[in-house]
């Protein structure tokens, strides 16, 4: 996320906390810096490692308490990809209608936006009497590299972005 986008997201989250009578503590600030300092999807455990690199006092409990606040604020989206833990998407605020292509073998997640999918969603909504206000799509499959080699250079690297 660009520096202005990051500071805007942090400002929005600070206002969100204030409305709930909560403060933006140093630990919370480190977590925010970690979340909005990346475009990668992340697990709670990865966020803990990143936040502790910024502030060694960040606790696991604070990370786990912050994640629901981040999703409730609308700045981060929790994704259930059918694995043992949720993955969090920090790109949601900037691109709320992006979609995900997920490799079932190497866990790579590629974000993409599609005008065709957006038009299709509008068309379906119109035909069924809905005003579409958002869309999200998760496509799963196997990346070609894994299928050809039985292994993949992307294993363990979750994020990619496509137009």
On whether both 49 and 126 belong to a single domain, the answer is: no
What residues have CB less than 8 Å from 75, skipping those under 6 apart? 9, 12, 13, 35, 90, 92, 93
Per-residue burial over 116-145, b = 16 or more CB atoms within 10 Å of its CB, e = otherwise? ebeeebeeeeeeeeeeeeebeeeeeeebeb
Split at pLDDT 50, 70, 90, the class of 57 is very high
Least confident of 99-108, 134-143, 145-154: 145-154
**pLDDT reported for residue 156:** 56
| Beta bridge partners of residue 78, listed in sequence order | 88
On whether both 55 and 12 belong to a single domain, the answer is: yes
Based on C-alpha coordinates, what's the Rg of the chain? 17
Of the two residues 134 and 92, the one the predictor is more confident about is 134
On whether both 74 and 114 belong to a single domain, the answer is: no
On whether both 84 and 103 belong to a single domain, the answer is: no
On whether both 78 and 110 belong to a single domain, the answer is: no
Split at pLDDT 50, 70, 90, the class of 5 is low
Angle at 16 between CA 136 and CA 2, to 5 degrees: 60
On whether both 111 and 38 belong to a single domain, the answer is: no
65 is a domain residue = yes
Of the two residues 4 and 151, the one the predictor is more confident about is 151
User: 73: how many CB neighbours lie within 10 A of its CB?
Assistant: 17
On whether both 10 and 84 belong to a single domain, the answer is: yes
Q: What are phi and psi of 114, to 5 degrees?
A: -145, 120
On whether both 42 and 108 belong to a single domain, the answer is: no
Average pLDDT score over the chain:
84
Q: Residue 31 has which token pair?
A: 């977590």
Q: Residue 28 has which token pair?
A: 């919370």
Domain ends where: 59, 89, 119? 89
82 is a domain residue = yes
What residues have CB less than 8 Å from 143, skipping those under 6 apart? 103, 105, 106, 108, 152, 154
* Full residue range of the structural domain in which residue 42 is found: 3-89
On whether both 66 and 11 belong to a single domain, the answer is: yes
On whether both 7 and 81 belong to a single domain, the answer is: yes
Structural domains counted in the chain: 2
**pLDDT reported for residue 142:** 84
On whether both 81 and 120 belong to a single domain, the answer is: no
Domain ends where: 89, 113, 147? 89
| Beta bridge partners of residue 122, listed in sequence order | none
On whether both 111 and 75 belong to a single domain, the answer is: no
């Amino acid at each position: 996320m660009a520096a202005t986008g990051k500071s805007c997201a942090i400002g929005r989250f600070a206002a969100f906390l204030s409305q709930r009578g909560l403060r933006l503590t140093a630990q919370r600030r480190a977590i925010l810096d970690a979340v909005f300092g990346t475009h990668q999807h992340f697990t709670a455990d990865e966020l803990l490692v990143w936040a502790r690199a910024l502030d060694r006092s960040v606790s696991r409990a604070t990370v786990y308490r912050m994640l629901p606040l981040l999703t409730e604020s609308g700045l981060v989206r929790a994704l259930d990809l059918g694995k043992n833990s949720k993955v969090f998407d920090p790109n949601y605020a900037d691109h709320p209608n992006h979609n995900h292509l997920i490799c079932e073998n190497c866990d790579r997640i590629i974000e993409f936006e599609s005008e065709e999918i957006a038009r299709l969603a509008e068309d379906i909504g119109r035909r069924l009497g809905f005003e579409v206000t958002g869309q999200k799509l998760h496509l799963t499959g196997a990346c070609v590299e894994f299928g050809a080699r039985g292994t993949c250079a992307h294993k363990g690297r979750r994020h990619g972005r496509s137009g």
